[in-house]
Amino acid sequence: MLLAQSGSVRLSRLAVIGQAVRQMQHWIKNLYNFSGRTIAPEWRVLTWVSDGPPGRQPQYAIGDEFLIYDVPSRSFPARARVTGETEHRPELVNREGGPGEGKRWPYVTPVDVIAAVDTAVAPTPFMIDIAITQGGHRRIVEDVYDRAVSHLPAGFRRARLTAPLSRPIAIERETAEPFEQRFEIATRTAYRREQALVHRLAKHLRKKGHRVSRHAITLPDGTELRSDLFDHDILLLVEAKAKADRSSIRMAVGQLLDYERFVFPKPKLRAILLPERPADDLLALLAWMCHEGRAPARGRGAVLSA
């Protein structure tokens, strides 16, 4: 229920519980989305969430609303409303989530999903200016929730992109590994080396007070591209490679030029992150591209070696 404060244009949300009236609370609820939901209508079937560990029962109340944070995609694809009291039901969690899950997350809360969008266009923590922390749930302020509502209006909306969409997303932990990298050992090894380089650079930049992320770029045909690192303070776009050889550097150059067309805000600097200094001929190639008009003149290039 929405009630206007007397003499003010600001609205505060109030929830009615029995005969009592209390201010609605807002939450972030982390879900691992083992069902693999990727399109908006698939979130309709979510009717309860579970929390834990034992002894830490969530303080949700009927009428509270929360943002669903999809851990695999690192985005907020849905909003939900609490519709019932939290109960201790480990048997339900074991049956639906798998053996042992009920011991970890025994508290079950009924919910109704009130809004969802496709994962490909879901808002990310950077877009609503909030940090994600470990833990199953936490309370957030109304202003943060309202910023997310602007990206998640009521209803279930399928993505119909007519132009590329670029979204800032979190840089994975050094131990994380996307599903598409699991099919070939050589590819997986290269990805891990690149990820370690990116992780070290991100840590260094954060210590200097810089805000860093990746970008997920979704094209109208469904293709998704992901950059390695973007520094929002100096507008630096970085592509990492596991080797400092010719083929890797040529690929990195092409990727930087491809990503630059879509990343927002527009990069002013470009860099290739390598595990070692490349050969002088390859340095000359990059210098030639940057200074002889072979790369967009508005940006400058650099080679960062770890």
Nearest CA among 143, 147, 25, 138 for reference residue 81: 25
DSSP code for 267: P
End of a domain among 127, 157, 187?
157
pTM above threshold 0.85: no
pLDDT of residue 133: 78
Candidates 216, 118, 206; CA nearest to 169 is 216
- How many residues belong to the chain? 306
- Taking only the tens place, the pLDDT of each residue in 245-285 is 999 999 999 999 999 999 988 999 999 999 999 999 999 88
Instruction: Dump the DSSP string for 276-290.
Output: SPPPHHHHHHHHHHH
pLDDT of residue 159: 79
Provide the pLDDT for residue 10: 34
Tell me: do 188 and 270 sit in the same domain: yes
The rounded distance, in Å, linking the Cα atoms of 57 and 51 is 7
Task: Tell whether 254 and 137 lie within a shared domain.
Answer: no
299 pLDDT more than 70: no
Are both 242 and 134 inside the same structural domain?
Answer: no
Query: When comparing pLDDT for 6 and 238, which is higher?
Result: 238
pLDDT, position 187: 58
The confidence score (pLDDT) of residue 142 equals 93
CA 159 to chain centre: 17
Q: What share of the chain is helix, strand, coil (3-state, %, to 5)?
A: 30, 30, 40
Would you place residue 181 in the very low, low, confident or very high pLDDT band (cuts 50, 70, 90)?
A: very low
Task: State the residue range of the domain holding 213.
Answer: 165-305
Residues 26 and 56 in one domain: yes
251 and 193 within one domain: yes
Q: What's the pLDDT band for 286 if we cut at 50, 70, 90?
A: confident
End of a domain among 129, 157, 185?
157
* Res 239 pLDDT > 60: yes
Of 64-73, 107-116, 171-180, 295-304, which has the strongest mean pLDDT? Answer: 107-116
- Please state the φ and ψ torsions of residue 244, each to the nearest 5 degrees: -105, 35
Are 98 and 69 in a shared domain? yes
In this structure, the answer to whether residues 182 and 219 fall within a common structural domain is: yes
Q: In this structure, what CATH number is given to the domain that contains residue 107?
A: 3.10.590.10
Contact 256, 270 (CB under 8 A): yes
Which of 130-144, 172-186, 200-214 ranks highest by mean pLDDT? 200-214
Return the SS3 of 89: coil
Across 87-111, average pLDDT: 93
Instruction: Compute the distance between CA of residue 181 and CA of residue 130 in angstroms, rounded to an integer.
Output: 28
Cα distance between residue 103 and residue 90, in whole Å? 6
The reply to whether 211 and 244 lie within a common domain is yes
Domain count, the chain: 2
Question: What mean pLDDT, rounded, does the chain reach?
Answer: 83
Q: Are residues 151 and 213 in the same domain?
A: no
Within this chain, do residues 148 and 227 fall inside the same structural domain, yes or no? Answer: no
pLDDT over 50 at 180, yes or no: no
Looking at the chain, the whole-number percentage of residues with pLDDT higher than 90 is: 59
pLDDT band at 186 (very low <50, low <70, confident <90, very high): low
Q: Is the pLDDT of residue 11 over 90?
A: no
Token readout for 88 is 């201790």
Q: How many CB atoms lie within 10 A of CB 73?
A: 17
Q: Are 224 and 180 members of one domain? A: yes
- Among 80-89, 129-138, 220-229, the range with the most confident prediction by mean pLDDT is 80-89
Looking at residue 87, its pLDDT comes to 96
Q: Note the pLDDT of residue 158.
A: 86
Domain boundary among 157, 188, 220: 157
Instruction: Supply the CATH number for residue 190's domain.
Output: 3.40.1350
Regarding whether 128 and 189 lie in a shared domain, the answer is no
Alpha-helix residue ranges (DSSP H) falling in 78-184:
90-97, 101-104, 125-128, 142-149
